[in-house]
């Protein structure tokens, strides 16, 4: 990483962390600690993790009800940040985790050439044992954790997750992202957030999201998480 890149990276983190409030400054050591722990368990870079942390804290400070749902967990790094940020809240949130734990499914033609170039069986495979390990390392009680192992196509029809305050979709492909939005969007509370981790990176994720926003006539703000590949919007 060159000097200019490092400067930009640090500036991004600084902006997303939002030190305009005294409370956020006080929380800095806590946030840095969780980021240092989660890094070994995640494919996300630091700015995106900082963003997830802040979004969860914000939902707590505004007392938004609902659970946290992550679709695409792998080894649990990003969801550990979400769960850690939500820890100790009065909102009593359950954390729902959905993943095949067998790696990505095969892409389809809607995912574009890059997906086919990258894909092989077992690609991005995570391990639920590693997920529990990071939760234990962070001393996050496992009793609020709901790990749902299997293909979304099979598991989604069998679950009811209740209200959602934050939906983190990190599932890359068209079909996977489409399933997540159709299954969970209606459960997101007003003011809740939907984060698309791969919108700026994978063609399938972008297509599924654009189609969903258009079908539902969701014209509210759809924003990039600074200059990262992640995008998000709030339910209004
Ligand atoms: C990019 S990884 C998730 C990274 C993770 N959030 C982190 O912190 O490193 C994407 C995950 O989505 C899962 N996935 C994608 N589509 C799926 C589907 N249709 N059913 C189940 N799991 C799926 C894959 O198993 C993979 O572990």
Tens-digit pLDDT string for the chain (236 aa): 677 767 766 777 777 777 777 777 888 888 889 999 999 999 999 989 999 999 999 999 899 999 999 999 999 999 999 999 998 776 789 999 999 999 999 999 999 999 999 999 999 999 999 999 999 999 988 889 999 999 999 999 999 999 999 999 999 999 999 999 999 999 999 999 999 999 999 999 999 999 999 999 997 789 998 778 999 999 98
Cα of 137 vs centre of ligand 1, distance in Å, is: 22
Question: CB within 8 A of 212, min separation 6: which ones?
Answer: 178, 181, 182, 185, 218
180 lines ligand 1 (CB under 6 A): no
What is the length of the chain? 236
Cα(72) to ligand 1 centroid in Å equals 3
With a 6 A CB cut-off, is 176 part of the ligand 1 pocket?
Answer: yes
Q: Looking at ligand 1, which residue's alpha carbon is closest to its atom 20?
A: 151
Q: What atom in ligand 1 is closest to the CA of residue 78?
A: 8
Count other C-beta atoms under 10 Å from residue 156's C-beta.
18
Helices (H), the chain: 3-17, 22-26, 28-38, 46-61, 77-86, 113-118, 128-137, 152-155, 174-184, 203-215
Query: From the CA of 171, how far away is ligand 1's center (Å)?
Result: 5
pTM tops 0.85, yes or no: yes
Residue with tokens 């969860």: 56
CA of 99 to the centre of ligand 1 (A): 6
Closest C-alpha among 129, 99, 105, 135 to residue 119: 105
> Could you tell me the strand order of the sheet in which 231-234 lies?
145-149, 95-99, 67-71, 164-169, 188-196, 231-234, 222-224
Report whether 72 contacts 96 (CB < 8 A).
no
Residue nearest to atom 6 of ligand 1 (CA): 73
CATH topology of domain 3-234: Rossmann fold (3.40.50)
């Amino acid at each position: 990483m060159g000097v200019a890149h490092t400067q930009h990276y640090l500036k991004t983190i600084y902006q997303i962390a939002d030190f305009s409030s005294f409370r956020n400054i006080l929380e800095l050591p806590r946030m840095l600690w969780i980021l240092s722990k989660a890094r070994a368990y995640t494919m996300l870079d630091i700015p995106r993790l900082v963003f997830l942390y802040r979004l969860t804290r914000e939902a707590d400070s505004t007392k938004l009800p609902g659970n946290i749902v992550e679709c695409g967990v792998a080894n649990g790094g990003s969801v550990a940040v979400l769960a850690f940020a939500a820890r100790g809240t009065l909102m009593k949130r359950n954390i729902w985790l959905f993943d095949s734990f067998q790696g990505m499914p095969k892409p389809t033609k809607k995912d574009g050439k890059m997906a086919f170039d990258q894909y092989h069986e077992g690609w991005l495979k995570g391990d639920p044992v590693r997920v529990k390990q990071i939760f234990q390392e962070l001393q996050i009680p496992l009793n609020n954790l709901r790990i749902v192992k299997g293909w979304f196509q099979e598991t989604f029809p069998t679950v009811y997750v209740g209200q959602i305050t934050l939906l983190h979709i990190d599932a890359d492909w068209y079909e996977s992202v489409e399933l997540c939005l159709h299954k969970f969007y209606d459960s997101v509370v007003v003011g809740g957030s939907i984060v698309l981790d791969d919108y700026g990176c994978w063609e399938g994720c972008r297509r599924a999201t654009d189609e969903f926003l258009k079908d539902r006539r969701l014209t509210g703000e759809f924003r990039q998480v600074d200059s990262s590949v992640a995008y998000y919007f709030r339910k209004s």
